[in-house]
Structure 1
Amino acid sequence: MPQFAANLSFLYTEHPFLERFAAAAEDGFTAVEYLFPYDWPAHQLQQLLRAHGLRQVLFNAPAGGGNRQQVAQAWQQGLRGTAALEWQEAVFRYGVALALEYAQALDCGQIHLMSGLLDAVQAREASTTTRWLHRLTWAAEQAAAVGCRVLIEPINHHDMPGYYLHTQQQAHAALQTIGHPQLGLQLDLYHCQRTEGDALAALQQALPTGRVGHIQIAGVPGRHEPDCGSLPWQALFQQLDDAQWPGWVGCEYQPATHTRAGLGWLRAWQERVV
């Protein structure tokens, strides 16, 4: 059965952030993910994970910023990563170093590295792709030195217009070109379905490559619970079961009402496969 992680940036928002760890554990989750940890000291998050028997399985490298104050403001300022952005080498490297520092403290084996927002001309420039591939390679080498893995995630242009990495083909081409074992795919089935329309086919094609390091899920198109909308969530979970995929599925959706009340899909799947 797939292993499910609660995304604390999306779930349990009826509680202050630091109280969401306990809420997730009470509902049976054994792992968590979220967008960013940098607003809190690593030791404080580590204590919460231990207190509630939780594993940290994913978070994002900073969205931008060359120091802690700038990192804290980057997402609210509209930054969405720097890996593909021109003139951002120092900021990019600072963000990777900070993310790996937190990953080690939280015993988190994977971080997501965002590519950034570009206009249409920049996105088509060969120099952009070259720069992106070079930075991904460098980040994978830094991650390998501390036993961590870097993931890249295509994000749909409905939710994030201008995001550089937005298709599965683009992601797989980069991973194949670089070929580094510490660089993998974060396959968000919601984004995939919104962009390419057939998340099940994408999953079936991606799993045999060995590149999939993490999966995320939400209903399409509203980004609510997986059973809300057109996403074939049961077939997707069955595919993971059939493949005996060992990773985590992040529940990165916006509850339609209350987090706990909306977990019926999870309980139904767990009861079905027990």
Structure 2
Amino acid sequence: MPRLAANLSFLYQELPFEARFAAAAEDGFAAVEYLAPYACEPGWLVEQLRTHGLTQVLFNAPAGGCSRAQVHAAWDEGWRGTACLPGQQAAFRYGIDLALDYAQALNCRRVHVMSGTPSAAEAGDRLHWLRQLEWAAERAAAQPQPVTLLLEAINHTDMPGYWLHTQQQAYAALQEIGHPLLALQLDFYHCQMTEGNALAQLKRYLPTGRVAHTQIAGAPGRHEPDEGALPWKALLQTLDQAGYDGWVGLEYRPRGSTRAGLAWARHLLG
């Protein structure tokens, strides 16, 4: 049975962030993910996880910045990663090291590395992108506990101009680099929005063994998966039948309260 993780950046918006760990545990979740941990001290996050019996399964490497203050402000300033931007190499490498420090502290084995949204003034560069990812994978391999770095294709409706927007792009990069600590984060919502058939894409890439994390939301709208065109039951069944041992992150915006909106998933949460 697929294991569900609560994305605390999307779910429980009716609560302050510090109260969302307890709410997730009360609703039967054993794991959480969220966009970024950098506004919080690692020790506080560790305590939240320990207190509520939760596992941290994913967060993003910084969207930009070369200092903690810049990292904290980067998302609101419009940064969406720096991997493909040659002029942002220092920010990329600072961010990877910071993310790996957090991953060690939180015992988190998956970190999503955002590729970036090039501007007209600084176009993206594929060769630079590949070299940066290779460097990052080597840094991840050198950690006391190795961390798998993930590539996620993000649709251009939600994130116009994002460098990496198809599964084919992501998988081609994984094949070209060939590092065991680089893998695919297959977000069914983004996949459905861009490529139109998330189930076909899952069946194509899951047998490669490179799908290390998945996420789900209804498409369009990005609400609960039981709303819209996404074949969520077939997707979860396919994961189950294939023996997928990763997590399915619930990265959607609830239509109302998070708890009421979990009716579709109650049988999976126990």
Aligned-CA RMSD value: 1.3
Q: Counterpart in 1 of 2:246?
A: 247
- Specify whether residues 269 and 83 from structure 1 end up closer, same or farther in structure 2 by C-alpha distance, changes over 3 A only: same
The question of 1:141 aligning with 2:163 is answered: no
Letter in 2 for 1:137: E
TM-score when normalising by structure 1:
0.95
Contact 1:56 1:106 in 2 (8 A): yes
Shift of 1:122: 6.4
User: What secondary structure is seen at the aligned counterpart in 2 of 1:87?
Assistant: helix
Task: Give the Cα separation in 2 of the matches to 1:122 and 1:79.
Answer: 13
Q: Counterpart in 1 of 2:53?
A: 53
Report matched runs for 1:28-67 at 5 Å.
Answer: 28-67=28-67
- Specify whether residues 55 and 270 from structure 1 end up closer, same or farther in structure 2 by C-alpha distance, changes over 3 A only: closer
- Specify whether residues 176 and 122 from structure 1 end up closer, same or farther in structure 2 by C-alpha distance, changes over 3 A only: farther
Task: Give the Cα separation in 2 of the matches to 1:25 and 1:79.
Answer: 32
Task: Give the Cα separation in 2 of the matches to 1:43 and 1:199.
Answer: 38
Task: Give the Cα separation in 1 of the matches to 2:40 and 2:46.
Answer: 10
User: What secondary structure is seen at the aligned counterpart in 1 of 2:92?
Assistant: helix
The question of 1:219 aligning with 2:199 is answered: no
The question of 1:156 aligning with 2:143 is answered: no
Q: Counterpart in 1 of 2:209?
A: 210
Q: Counterpart in 1 of 2:105?
A: 105
TM-score when normalising by structure 2:
0.97
Contact 2:29 2:269 in 1 (8 A): no
Task: Give the Cα separation in 1 of the matches to 2:206 and 2:231.
Answer: 17
Q: Counterpart in 2 of 1:236?
A: 235
Shift of 1:13: 1.1
Offset from partner CA, 1:137-165 (integer Å, 9 cap, x none) = 00011111111110010000010000000
Offset from partner CA, 1:83-124 (integer Å, 9 cap, x none) = 00121111100000000000000000010000110247966x
Task: Give the Cα separation in 1 of the matches to 2:235 and 2:122.
Answer: 35
Q: Percent identity?
A: 64
Contact 1:35 1:60 in 2 (8 A): yes
Equivalenced residues, count: 268
The question of 1:89 aligning with 2:89 is answered: yes
Q: Please list every run of 5 or more consecutive structure 1 residues that lacks an aligned counterpart in the other structure.
A: none
User: What secondary structure is seen at the aligned counterpart in 2 of 1:138?
Assistant: helix
Task: Give the Cα separation in 1 of the matches to 2:121 and 2:206.
Answer: 33
